[in-house]
Amino acid sequence: MNEPHVMQRRAADAFRGALVADALAMPVHWYYDQRALLRDYPEFAADAPPGFIAPRSPHADSILWRSSYTPLNEKGEILHDQAQYWGRRGVHYHQFLAAGENTLNHRLATELAALVRRNRDYDPERWLDDYVAFMLTPGRHRDTYVEEYHRHFFTNLASGRKPINCGVRDVHIGGLVPVPALVAALGPKHPDLRRLVRLHVNLTHKDADVLDAADALARMLVRICAGDDLRETILAEGADWISAAKVQAWEREPDHVVVGGRLSSACYIPDAFPAALFLAWRHAGDFHTGVAANARVGGDNCHRGAVVGSLLGASSPIPHGLLEGLAARGRVDETFPPDPAAATR
């Protein structure tokens, strides 16, 4: 079934799925020690997948103490009152977020989706105006960590570059976070969707691998929204990243052996994207188990969640309890009003 309203509903659910996956992974974001993750968050060791959990301090694997950022001037001031926590040991990257809240990149994706739907089109200049205003205004978010690409962007902005020229070559999977938002906001049948996805991601992530992965994710979401099988779509559109032979071999091993062993659980796109595709492939048809598995293997699970959550959200039902607990639910429902007749697919 590929009626336009069904495709649009699935696209909106893909975006919701990405947000849910991020919020579920948020407390265990950037844990690389599996034993520490399960010790600090035993909910992830239980047989049943957990719901949303607030972050707990200290963060056993935090390396925020090694990060630093000094703005050149007021046009680079993006840490605001969170700057005091940088350089300290044990600080949780998302220490002030509540259970069910989204991390910064996904917050920005929510702003992007609302802007595009409101204006019924995508305009990079208008988005950059909103992005700059959001980041420079104290209190717009409560996240302690601000990813590297933001810091590079605002260093360039503070040095006098125009926003359109402030992006850098960034190889992190965080560059894929806006893709589900754009597919949902523009609609999976938009004739210029793939070009606009690449245009948007290129504003901040000028890396060929990231741009290719963004294009592949957009193609997958369009096909799944049209009713194509998730596993077949992943293998067909992700052939540059994953293969049937690999997933069949990896399927015999636990998630944490594949993601964290055979593939790095870190943020770099050459491993992070195939890791996300594998998790979505393995857990096809079971949204909650899939996004919990993504969280449980640690690493950059929040940004992998944009891939895992959107693919599973477009192809399988999202549990009502997770949608109820998502802090951004009201804002997302305003942007994409739920279809009351679509309680089940």
The answer to the question of residue 304 being in a domain is yes
Cα of 113 vs its chain's centroid, Å: 13
Average pLDDT on 219-224 reads 98
Model confidence at 339, pLDDT cuts 50, 70, 90, reads confident
Q: Are 213 and 205 in contact (CB under 8 A)?
A: no
pLDDT of residue 335: 97
Q: Do the domain assignments include residue 215?
A: yes
Domain annotation covers residue 326: yes
81: domain CATH number is: 1.10.4080.10
Give the total number of structural domains in the chain: 1
Q: How far apart are CA 188 and CA 116, in angstroms?
A: 14
Decide if 231 is inside a domain.
yes
113 is a domain residue: yes
Mean pLDDT over the full length of the chain: 96
In a domain, 164, yes or no: yes
Any idea what the Cα angle at residue 277 is, between residues 328 and 282, rounded to 5°?
Answer: 100
So what's the pLDDT on residue 342?
A: 57
Tallying the residues shown for the chain, one arrives at 345
Mean pLDDT of 109-121: 97
Confidence band for 167, pLDDT divided at 50, 70 and 90: very high
What is the domain extent for residue 328? 4-335
Q: How many angstroms separate the CA atoms of 296 and 39, rounded?
A: 12
Q: Give residue 340's pLDDT.
A: 66
* pLDDT of the residue at 192: 98
- The pLDDT tens digits for 190-213 are 999 999 999 999 999 999 999 999
Q: Report yes or no: 264 and 299 within 8 Å, Cβ to Cβ.
A: yes
What integer pLDDT is reported at residue 3 of this predicted model? 82
- pLDDT at position 138: 97
* Overall pTM surpassing 0.85 (yes/no): yes
The token pair that represents 273 in the structure block: 């994207």
In this prediction, residues 145-166 reach a mean pLDDT of: 98
| Structure-token pair, residue 90 | 């044990």
pLDDT at 315: 98
Report the percentage of the chain scoring pLDDT > 70: 98
Q: Is residue 341 part of a domain?
A: no
Identity of the residue numbered 142: R
Token pair belonging to 194: 């793939």
pLDDT exceeds 60 at position 91: yes
Report residue 345's pLDDT band, with 50, 70 and 90 as the boundaries.
Answer: very low
* 108 part of a folded domain: yes
pLDDT tens digits along 47-83: 999 999 999 999 999 999 999 899 999 999 999 999 9
How high is the pLDDT of residue 343?
A: 47
